Amino acid sequence: MPERSDFWSRRRARVAQEDEAAEKAREKDAIAQEQAAFEAQEDETILQALGLPDPETLTPKDAAAFMARAVPARLRRRAMRALFKAHPSLSMPDGLQDYDDDYTVAPPDLRPMIAKWEPVIRNVSRRAEAMLQDEALEPEVPVVEKPVSESEPEVEEPEDMPRPRRMVFHTESDDA
């Protein structure tokens, strides 16, 4: 069944969108108030209130708890900094990154390759010059255009031209 697009359907959809936007705004306000309350407190108090472990003894399994929205940004940064210091293997490149190779190394010496290809290049250039000389020696054949007669017979169009075909589309609303 096609979607209804009358006034009331559009109005109900707009009201639902407004309700969703208001709910998101309330959630943001609640998080902002929670963040403001935590800003004045010390880190140890916040950790106890949220039930989080000490960031200095953080393991990779415990790191997800610090990514919650309720955790202040300064505490989240502290936890991530401690995690990467304690487990340096987390920041090691794995070789899957693009541009992981060292592109500062100079290219190899190309002189041996050039010496190898010089005879081939000379041979090809000699053949090209020979072909150009052969073309220059051949006499040009004048191109004669076909004379246009002034009394060409006109093509008559038939009087009974078929009617153009039109496409007809049938939809569900036409059948009802």
Question: In this predicted structure, what is the pLDDT of residue 3?
Answer: 62
Question: In this predicted structure, what is the pLDDT of residue 4?
Answer: 64
What own/partner pairs with CB < 8 Å and gap ≥ 24 does 65-73 have?
69/31, 70/31, 70/34, 70/38, 71/46, 72/35, 72/38, 72/39, 72/46
Question: In this predicted structure, what is the pLDDT of residue 1?
Answer: 45
Q: How far is CA 82 from CA 62, 65, 75, 99, 109, in A?
A: 12, 14, 11, 28, 47
pTM of the model as a whole: 0.40
- pLDDT, tens digit (0-9, with 9 covering 90-100), for 93-131: 776 777 767 777 767 777 888 888 899 999 999 999 998
Question: In this predicted structure, what is the pLDDT of residue 15?
Answer: 96
Burial 9-26 (b: 16+ CB within 10 A, else e): eeeeeeeeeeeeeeeeee
* Domain spans, the chain: 9-91
Mean residue pLDDT of the chain comes to: 82
* Pair 57, 83: CB distance under 8 Å: no
State the Cα–Cα distance between residues 132 and 127, nearest whole angstrom.
Answer: 9
What average pLDDT does range 35-51 have in this prediction?
84
State the Cα–Cα distance between residues 46 and 38, nearest whole angstrom.
Answer: 7
Q: Which of 39-48, 58-67, 98-107 is the least confident region? A: 98-107
148 pLDDT more than 60: yes
Q: How far is CA 38 from CA 26, 31, 45, 63, in A?
A: 18, 10, 9, 19
Per-residue tokens: 84: 């990467």
Q: Of 2-6, 17-21, 64-68, 82-86, which has the strongest mean pLDDT?
A: 17-21
Question: In this predicted structure, what is the pLDDT of residue 149?
Answer: 63
Q: What percentage of the chain exceeds 90 in pLDDT?
A: 20
State the Cα–Cα distance between residues 58 and 75, nearest whole angstrom.
Answer: 12
Question: In this predicted structure, what is the pLDDT of residue 16?
Answer: 96
